[in-house]
């Protein structure tokens, strides 16, 4: 993860879990697609800690990039961290790392890293009516201050 901007705060989140059998192939090595689930769990933690409980229905992913560096195995404990790299007017780039914790004589190793972009949408989500729009001011405030320094952000109507 990169350093926070001078004098700035970067919202972040961490999720701890284990690789489950459903996450693996027959050899017990995790599927690449499982990385998305691990990352979204860390993102959900970050948003909940900042009081943004209505975030996900309004922030689809529009770009996803990942570098796979080492395998994760069934039962292995993992730590996934996310951090906002850039918060724009209507989009946000989040960087992530997935670490396989030490287990069965294997050292702790980074399994994957990357970034993805979300865009704030408003309007009718059921059809073609969803359009990009600026992040709500309350959300920007919530994501640019540590959780203990802001009141719970308003839920988007």
SS (H, E, C) the chain: CCCCCCCCCCCEEEEEEECCHHHECCCCEECCCHHHHHHHHHHHHHHHHCCCCCCHHHCCEEEEEEEECCCCECCCEEEEEEEEEEECCCEEEEEEEEEECCECCECCEEEEEEEEEEECEECCCCCCCCEECCCCHHHHHHHCCCHHHCCCCCCCC
**Any domain includes 138:** yes
CB-based contact 112:65 (threshold 8 Å): no
Which residues in the chain come in under a pLDDT of 50? 6, 150-157
Predicted pLDDT at 130: 75
Domain that holds residue 115: 12-149
Predicted pLDDT at 129: 66
What is the domain-level CATH number for residue 70?
3.10.129.10
Q: How far apart are the first and last CA of the chain?
A: 33
**Any domain includes 2:** no
**Any domain includes 7:** no
Beta bridge partners of 99: 79, 110
32: CB partners within 8 A, 6+ apart: 66, 68
Beta bridge partners of 118: 61, 92
Number of domains in the chain: 1
**Any domain includes 116:** yes
**Any domain includes 57:** yes
Q: Global pTM?
A: 0.86
**Any domain includes 46:** yes
């Amino acid at each position: 993860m990169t350093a926070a901007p001078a004098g700035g705060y970067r919202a972040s989140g961490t999720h701890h879990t284990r690789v489950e059998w459903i996450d693996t192939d027959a050899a017990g090595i995790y599927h690449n697609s499982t990385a998305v689930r691990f990352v979204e769990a860390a993102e959900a933690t970050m948003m909940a800690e900042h009081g943004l409980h209505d975030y996900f229905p309004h922030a689809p992913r529009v770009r996803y990039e990942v570098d796979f560096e080492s395998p994760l195995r069934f039962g292995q404990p993992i730590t996934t961290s996310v951090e906002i790299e850039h918060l724009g007017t209507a989009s946000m780039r989040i960087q992530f790392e997935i670490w396989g914790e030490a287990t069965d004589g294997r050292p702790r190793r980074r399994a994957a890293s990357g970034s993805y972009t979300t865009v704030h949408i408003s309007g009718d989500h059921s059809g073609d009516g969803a359009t990009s729009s600026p992040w709500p001011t309350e959300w920007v405030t919530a994501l640019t201050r540590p959780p203990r320094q802001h009141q719970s952000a308003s839920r988007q109507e």
